[in-house]
Structure 1
Amino acid sequence: MEQGVLEYLVGCGIAGWVATGREVSLRSYRLFAARDPRVLIGIDPEGVWGEPELIGLMAEKCGVSPDPRYVEGPDLIDPVRTLLAFDRFAERVAEVAQRKGPVLIGTGHPHRLLGFYVGLADALSAAGCAVLTPAQGRRVDITTRFGLRTYNLDYVRGVAFVRAHGVPGSGGAPGAHSHSPLPVRMALAALAEAGGPLPELVIGDHGWVCGAGQLGFEAIGLADTDDPALFVGEAEGRVSVVVPLDDGVRSDYYLPLSRYVLNRACLSQ
């Protein structure tokens, strides 16, 4: 266990006491238990996942408080769990790199996590993997809490995300925050229509991981304490690895973790 990495995770707020509030996470657990599609984000649970079961799962996977009476204040992500999950994440990246398998990488957090994923995409491409970019520019309509919104699927250096419709693809905003599985479904459908290749591994967060995993693709990703869908997917065997972390800190704080993954996967450039 690398003590310096653990200290880094806590020091920059990626793990330890995180900014995601307990009340925010509990609201997500209640909505997930009610099978609200905004929180399922592509996963169709097989088991019974009520709020008590979800608190227990998130305590196991993330290290949050298992006490249902703790309903307000900061929540805890155990940095040891985060680091161990990053090690498993790196193993999956290394295996697909050794096979030179095609990969699809996408994020619903482009403002925060784009740089982390770009580092992986560059290294996987250099290792001979095809970093897939299907359906670029394709329109996707997503229902949000503000109503129906129109976006376009875009890529930066092999990493997919959605932009608000009409926002230029270069020199504009880095993209929109989205939990929807529709972009990954669109990307995978476009690959199938074109005759492949299909990804051997999907890397990302939110709906990119859940949507791909639900369709039977191997998927690994990052998730905060208010994203129970990914951890349920992992518990039920449709997601291979989920790394628990705060997904809302400064974007540059994640870059050393991209380098950590690449070092563990023997893909450092």
Structure 2
Amino acid sequence: MLSTAALRAHLLAARLAGPVATSREESLRSYRLFAARDPRVLIGIDPEWSWGQRDLIGLMAEKCGVSADPRHTSGQDVIDPELTLAALDAFAERIAAVAERGAPVLFGTGHPHRLIGFYAGLADALSAAGCDVLTPAQGHRVDITTRFGLRTHNLDYVRGVAFVRGADPGRPGGEPGAHTHSPLPVRTVLARAAEAGGPLPELVVGDHGWVCGAGQLGFEAIGLADTDDPALFVGEAEGSVSVVVPLDDAVRSAYYRPLTRYVLNQACLSR
């Protein structure tokens, strides 16, 4: 069993927390764009409250541990590992609750290169516990606007985790999946599930637009987010997202395996 102390040490050693790769400049740019309600940064959330850049800095300091000083404008961001650990415990509580009910759950990621393994381990455990891990709309087309223009993607699943692939296999980034912040994939999946008569998920687990898009539609959603992804933390603050775990979401995929073990231990789902 992975102890809290061992996981804290891993978070710092792997730079999942503590000083992370995300720069202060990147985060501040995201906060400015969010305050301006740029859809590229809202990623599916329609904020109820008015969020200025200073408000977002304060929120992210509270939720992640970044500097609360708006005059701090350069360098690397810092995530407080204690906040990550506390959020992982809350995340595990929601996983345990859905397992106890044997309820349907949907997993999806905009970081397939990094995070599929983390979610797949949870999906396997929930499936073994009797939950229906949903996979609607496989192969369905999703057109996503990117900085390179409109790109066609197809929905796919690996071990119960949804993501999108570039429709052109010759396009770089098309395999094993595309990085996206868009809420369109989860909206498509949920719409197709509803059209088919269900079931619909009682919990959506993921990141980026998968969490924000589902939470905005009224589904319980939990996930992971970096310091330059304020939308998830705004959703949590406003109540449309249940739990957000602050961490660097772009380190090596193997570094997330201890987090899977920890969550399953905390949820009493370890085998």
Counterpart-to-counterpart distance in 2, 1:17 and 1:176: 27
Aligned to 1:135: 137
> Structure 1 vs Structure 2: percent identity of aligned residues?
77
Counterpart-to-counterpart distance in 1, 2:143 and 2:267: 36
**Alpha-carbon distance, 1:166 to partner:** 3.4
Aligned to 1:24: 26
Counterpart-to-counterpart distance in 2, 1:155 and 1:2: 31
Counterpart-to-counterpart distance in 2, 1:57 and 1:79: 16
What TM-score, normalized by structure 1, do the two folds share? 0.97
In the alignment, which of 67, 77, 83 is matched to residue 75 of structure 1?
77
Aligned to 2:176: 174
Counterpart-to-counterpart distance in 2, 1:90 and 1:249: 21
**Structure 1 unaligned blocks of 5 or more:** none
Counterpart-to-counterpart distance in 1, 2:236 and 2:84: 15
Q: CA offsets, 1:138-168, max 9 Å, x none?
A: 0000011111111000000100000000339
Aligned to 2:106: 104
Aligned to 1:90: 92
Counterpart-to-counterpart distance in 2, 1:139 and 1:187: 10
In the alignment, does 2:192 pair up with 1:190?
Answer: yes
Q: CA offsets, 1:163-217, max 9 Å, x none?
A: 000339xxx8220000000000000000100111110000000000000000000
CA contact (8 A) 2:54 2:70 kept: yes
Aligned to 2:207: 205
**Structure 2 unaligned blocks of 5 or more:** none
Letter of the structure 2 residue corresponding to residue 118 of structure 1: A
1:214-233 alignment, distance < 5 Å: 214-233=216-235
Equivalent position SS for 2:206: strand
In the alignment, which of 1, 10, 13 is matched to residue 11 of structure 1?
13
Counterpart-to-counterpart distance in 2, 1:229 and 1:19: 19
Q: CA offsets, 1:37-78, max 9 Å, x none?
A: 000000000101010000000000000000001111001100
CA contact (8 A) 2:141 2:155 kept: yes
Equivalent position SS for 2:182: coil
Aligned to 1:54: 56
**Alpha-carbon distance, 1:134 to partner:** 0.5
Aligned to 1:40: 42
Q: Between Structure 1 and Structure 2, how many residues are aligned?
A: 266
Displacement over 6 Å in runs of 4+: none
Counterpart-to-counterpart distance in 2, 1:164 and 1:173: 7
Counterpart-to-counterpart distance in 1, 2:249 and 2:51: 23
In the alignment, which of 156, 163, 166 is matched to residue 164 of structure 1?
166
What TM-score, normalized by structure 2, do the two folds share? 0.97
Equivalent position SS for 1:209: helix
Letter of the structure 2 residue corresponding to residue 250 of structure 1: R
Aligned to 1:247: 249
User: RMSD of the TM alignment (CA)?
Assistant: 1.1
1:110-149 alignment, distance < 5 Å: 110-149=112-151
Counterpart-to-counterpart distance in 2, 1:253 and 1:49: 33
**Alpha-carbon distance, 1:115 to partner:** 0.4
Q: CA offsets, 1:84-114, max 9 Å, x none?
A: 0000000000000000000000000000101
CA contact (8 A) 2:7 2:258 kept: no
Counterpart-to-counterpart distance in 2, 1:136 and 1:178: 17
